[in-house]
Amino acid sequence: MTNKLVTIILPVYNGEKYLKRAIDSVLNQTIGYDKLTLLVINDGGTDSSSQIISNYQKKYPELIHFIDRENKGVAKTRNEAIILTETEYLTFLDQDDYLDQEFVQKLYQEAKTSKVDVVVGGYRRPDEVGSVRKTVQPSDTEFGKFITMAAWSKLHRTKFLKENKIEFFDNSVGEDNVFTFKEIMSTQNILIINYIGYNWFYNTSSVSNTAQSSLNSENQEALERLLEKLFQVNDNSNSKINEYFIVRMIVFYLLFSGRNSTLSEFASAELKFNSIMKNYGSSYNILTFIPKGESFSIKMILKIFYILKKMSLLNFVMRFYCKGK
């Protein structure tokens, strides 16, 4: 693997339905197999994923490095893969997703030309019938680095990740957020390019679309762990934009998960999250700081949330918003 340039890390757990599409998108990369490694770790699933990967590995032994082991979870699997990576650069691919043909070559060329630690591209959200539900192209602004908190759609310099101990957070919510947040804090050498080559599949049955969709006690505890971790990573940075991102994230988790929650669950979660903010010297007041690169619609959502909280009307309005039973 040492003569290769880029490793694509593909964690798999019961991914048989879309796995072939993901692997085929790697096989179709224009950069060539001699410069590429696909590192696939089957994380102890029970479906036919292992057999699918094994069949591909036999056909493309020069490209595919396959590890089949017991379940450890996606965060530990990705962290293990980073340690195993020997190429100069790496990128991540989720089992339901797929890459455009020139994705790796485009990001690699940009990384080598600009000599940066991270190259950030955009992504689109195709659904089952091929319709694109959403397209995201981060702006080349300071806050543009925060628009895509997932680790995919980017190319990362491997040595940079290892030297700065940038790892995924082993948590049921937001493992990518901690990884990307620490990455942003660890370097100024991040390049945002005007290119979309990653396809984040809109899968209505995926864990990310269902498991986090309420503020039950389990999700509240996971979100509390995430917020504590982000504030700890941000400790003593005195960065308004970092604090803004964390509080912004709190609001959006409250709104996203609160929709399918009861009013009491929402109120309980908001109270706990507010307490965590205060423990780290933060508050909703940071929402009045709007960084360049933030979208108009999100500015309006945050402004309304801030005003409602300031006027003690938040829980009153949320009784009409929360639909949980």
Domain closes at, from 207, 235, 258: 207
- State how far the Cα of 267 lies from the Cα of 312, in Å rounded to an integer: 12
In a domain, 188, yes or no: yes
Number of domains in the chain: 2
User: Does residue 1 form part of some domain?
Assistant: no
Regarding whether 241 and 304 lie in a shared domain, the answer is yes
Asked if 186 and 66 sit in the same domain, the reply is yes
The two structure tokens encoding residue 80? 């293990």
**Per-block average pLDDT, block size 10, for the chain (325 residues)?**
88 98 98 97 97 98 97 98 98 98 98 98 95 95 94 99 98 96 97 98 69 84 97 89 96 96 97 97 95 93 97 97 91
Annotate 3-42 with b (16+ C-beta within 10 A) or e (fewer).
ebbbbbbbbbbbbbebbeebbebbeebebeeeebbbbbbb
| Cα–Cα distance, 207 to 204 (Å, whole number) | 9
Last-in-domain residue among 144, 172, 207: 207
**What was the pLDDT predicted at 1?**
47
Q: Quick one: 217 and 310 in the same domain?
A: yes
Give the CATH number of the domain where residue 27 resides: 3.90.550.10
Share of the chain above pLDDT 90, in %: 92
Q: What are the tens digits of pLDDT across the range 82-120? A: 999 999 999 999 999 999 999 999 999 999 999 999 999
Instruction: Specify whether 90 is located in the same domain as 154.
Output: yes
Whether 130 and 91 share a structural domain: yes
Question: Where is the domain boundary, 160, 192, 207?
Answer: 207
Q: pLDDT at position 109, please?
A: 98
| pLDDT tens column, 184-220 | 999 999 999 999 999 999 987 764 555 557 999 999 9
Residues 46 and 137 placed together within one structural domain of the fold: yes
Query: What is the pTM assigned to this prediction?
Result: 0.94
Which structural domain range is residue 153 located in?
6-207
